[in-house]
Amino acid sequence: MFKGIAFCLLLATTAAAQDVTGADRVNVVSLLEDGKIDRTGPGFLYDEHTLVCSYSDVKGALQLRIESQGASAFTNSLIVFNESMDVAVLRINEDVLSATPLGNLNSLAIGDPVTFWAEQNGEWRIAEGTVREITDTGKGYDLISVDSAVFSPHGSPLYNTKKQVVGWIQGQSAVPLGRIAQLAERKSESLTIRQYKGSSTVWKFQKPAIPLNNTTPDVREMITLRGPSAYPFRIDLPHAWKTRAYKPSSNFLLRTEDPQSGICAELRATRLGDRDLLTGIDKTEPLVFTNLLRSQMVPYSTTHFTGFRAQYEDSDSVRLYAVDVFYTAFSGNLYILSVAYPQNVQSDITELIEQIFSSLRL
């Protein structure tokens, strides 16, 4: 295995900087297959077994070395990541690290000083800022805007004056810790970093193209589509929509999209093996919906099958999308049927979603 590689982050020497010292830092070292350091960056320990760090530091790595308070550990067990937030959550099995002091949004007010890590001239230094604004994103969480002379595209913990982590900052906007906690507290089965790297970009959810106009989707005529022998199914989808089928690796994907309205329906199928449905969902969800946050999941039945229905929220504040998903299993396969749509048309397509979900059958 890999030998320990010393890694040190240099602290800015400004007297006004808050005392986020070496004892408080969590250093993340991204290692390649030959043991060489690929990149370095900051993170924090949500608890003794959960690391939150930059997705940029996870991408392409074989494993990560985490250094905190004189102790170190390795991990490559990735629970989930969100690329648009530049944040990743990993599981640590070793019992050698201590959790980072955590705060919450209630400890911040407009005008309060905050600090974060920023890379300057090849060195990681503490940068200062002040809270300019705390706004409601309309997606169930607030966004912290920070005034600072330093702009860093690399994600970093955001600290209050008590040296507590209160959010995750990228650029000059931060997501509060409560939102990051929704990722960190997920109980999904972890996969290795390389499994994420090797997952097909076709298999992963792709946001539909920007709609050409705001017209109502054309659903006047439906057509029945059939799956291959390995993944048998029948489903009714709008005839006018553009449809393609893919076979990434051993999985299957049927994608149909209406470019006029920006609505997209996808059916994914993969072998379930000896797993039950919930275990299959836990294993595939972080591979498919990597940049989305699940807002709910409830038992759900259609005319033909039972399973679970989930809804996911988009983290992109510019093009707000929602995704309704029906998870079910039959013929030894896990089927993931999803409909993605601009959030502003949600009330208009509820009936269409129900119709698509109910049409899935053998």
Is the four-CA dihedral 344, 55, 48, 91 of positive or negative sign?
Answer: positive
Residue with tokens 């000896």: 274
User: Which of 98-107, 211-220, 255-264 is predicted with the least confidence, judged by mean pLDDT?
Assistant: 211-220
Which pLDDT tens digit goes with each residue over 100-158?
999 988 889 999 999 999 988 878 899 999 999 998 876 667 889 999 998 888 899 99
Domain limits for position 5: 1-193
Amino acid at 323: V
CB 313 within 8 A of CB 182: no
Closest CA to 174 of 130, 123, 228, 111: 130
Q: Is 206 left (phi over 0), alpha (psi -120 to 50) or beta?
A: beta
DSSP reduced 3-state for 106:
helix
Please tell me which residue, 327 or 315, carries the higher pLDDT value. Answer: 327
Q: Are residues 86 and 58 in the same domain?
A: yes
Q: Are residues 95 and 45 in the same domain?
A: yes
Q: Are residues 328 and 244 in the same domain?
A: yes
Q: Are residues 122 and 207 in the same domain?
A: no
Residue with tokens 């969902």: 281
Which pLDDT tens digit goes with each residue over 63-114?
899 999 889 999 988 877 777 778 888 889 888 888 999 998 888 999 999 9
Last residue of a domain, one of 193, 215, 234: 193
Domain count, the chain: 2
Q: Please give the structure tokens belonging to residue 82.
A: 């969100």
pLDDT of residue 20: 53
Please tell me which residue, 257 or 12, carries the higher pLDDT value. Answer: 257
pTM: 0.60
- Residue 178 belongs to domain with CATH number: 2.40.10.120
> 197 pLDDT band (50/70/90 cuts)?
low
User: Which of 6-10, 30-34, 93-97, 159-163 is predicted with the least confidence, judged by mean pLDDT?
Assistant: 6-10
- Residue 255 belongs to domain with CATH number: 3.40.1000.10
Contacting residues for 164 by C-beta, under 8 A, at least 6 apart: 101, 102, 103, 107
Vertex 237, ends 227 and 333: CA angle to 5°? 30
> 35 pLDDT band (50/70/90 cuts)?
confident
Q: Are residues 220 and 126 in the same domain?
A: no
Q: Are residues 180 and 219 in the same domain?
A: no
Q: Please give the structure tokens belonging to residue 187.
A: 């109980």
User: Which of 194-203, 250-259, 338-347 is predicted with the least confidence, judged by mean pLDDT?
Assistant: 194-203
